[in-house]
Amino acid sequence: PRVTIVGAGRVGSTLAQRIAEKNLADVVLLDIIAGMPQGLALDLVEARGIELHNRQIIGTNNYADTSGSQIVVITAGIPRKTGMSRDDLLKTNAKIVVEAATNAIAHSPNAIFIVVTNPLDVMTYLAWQATGLPRTRIMGMAGVLDSARFETFIALELGVLPADVKAMVLGSHGDLMVPLSRYATVNGIPITELLDAATIARLVERTRNGGAEIVELMQTGGAFFAPASATSVMVESILLNQSRLLPVAAYLQGEYGLEDVVIGVPCRLGCGGIESVLELNLTDEEREALDTSAQSVRKNIERAHE
């Protein structure tokens, strides 16, 4: 199989490395900057003998080279700078994502699309509109990353192995995300049995600010290692038809009482893309938080169209 990554920046190039070194697929890295994706691809190819895989990695500035991809990941855009909100990125990235999606679908009409560019939920919606794809074949990455951050903070707090912590974060990617604390467990034991409410609230808050915390520290852009890992898990579940249940930004048609909006919900990911959306019974508080999240995404979809 072949995966195209549009945007060979920090997230895109790290994702290319993850996909090739996990031996999941051949990779085409596309960027507007001349020579840059070609150089990165050559660098990754030169590591193959050491990393012991034989995947093809191509760098290009031309969409014709992406043809026949099973998956297209869009990471093209500008990232957040210190003090910038994800919504500040709205107009610039909207143009870039629509252009990328339109060009990519023309050469890979059967591909499944994963959008990574922020503001995530809005960009996924715009890419869905631009491609005309059925909603099963287009989605956004955010929930897997936000959940991994929540799990990390729980693991750090309890001093347990991160892989033993399971949590799910729904809603939009940003301040209005909806971490489902009552479902978070350490090997099946609810964290509500292990931590007091104030501590859980503090970890939830840190999760909400997880992206900003890294932007503050780095000063020169945002996170990319964990975002690339999170995206590679989605790519893997699709390519290997694993049917993993992951929080994914999906176009909703009535689920959770929401319609014509993209937001993070639990989805089964397999070779057809989103195989199903799982509807959880939410508490009133969680449902309200999801509604607020959806309203803000809708508002930004409108702003993007202005």
Per CB under 6 A, residues contacting ligand NAI are 6-12, 31-33, 75-77, 79-80, 89, 93, 96, 99-100, 116-118, 120, 141-142, 145, 173, 221-224, 227
**CB of 77 or CB of 266, closer to ligand NAI:** 77
Point out the residue whose Cβ comes nearest to ligand NAI: 9
Nearer to ligand NAI, 195 or 269 (CB): 269
Nearest alpha-carbon partner for 206 in 121, 292, 146, 119:
146
**Using an 8 Å Cβ cutoff, are 109 and 143 in contact?**
no
CB of 176 to ligand NAI, least distance (A): 14
Q: How many CB atoms lie within 10 A of CB 83?
A: 9
List phi, psi (to 5°) of 163: -65, -20
Q: Which is nearer to ligand NAI, 8 or 200 (CB)?
A: 8
Give the residue from 131, 144, 202 showing the smallest Cα distance to 173.
Answer: 144
Residue 34: CB atoms within 10 Å: 8
Find the helix or strand (DSSP H, E) in which 169 lies.
Answer: strand 169-170
Neighbouring residues of 3: CB distance < 8 A, sequence distance ≥ 6: 19, 24, 25, 26, 27, 28, 69, 70, 71, 72, 73, 235, 239
- Kindly state the smallest distance separating residue 23's Cβ from ligand NAI, in Å: 23
- Cβ closer to ligand NAI: 145 or 180? 145
Q: How many CB atoms lie within 10 A of CB 67?
A: 15
Residue 116: CB minimum distance to ligand NAI, A: 5
- In the complex, what is the shortest distance from the CB of residue 68 to ligand NAI, in angstroms, rounded to a whole number? 19
Quick one: which H or E segment has residue 242? none
Closest to ligand NAI by CB, 25 vs 100, is 100
Q: Which sequence positions are flagged as catalytic?
A: 173
Query: Cβ contacts of residue 113 below 8 Å, gap of 6+?
Result: 71, 72, 73, 74, 101, 104, 105, 127, 131, 133, 137, 138, 139
Q: Cβ neighbours of residue 92 under 8 Å, at least 6 residues apart? A: 77, 78
Min dist. Cβ of residue 246 to ligand NAI (A): 13
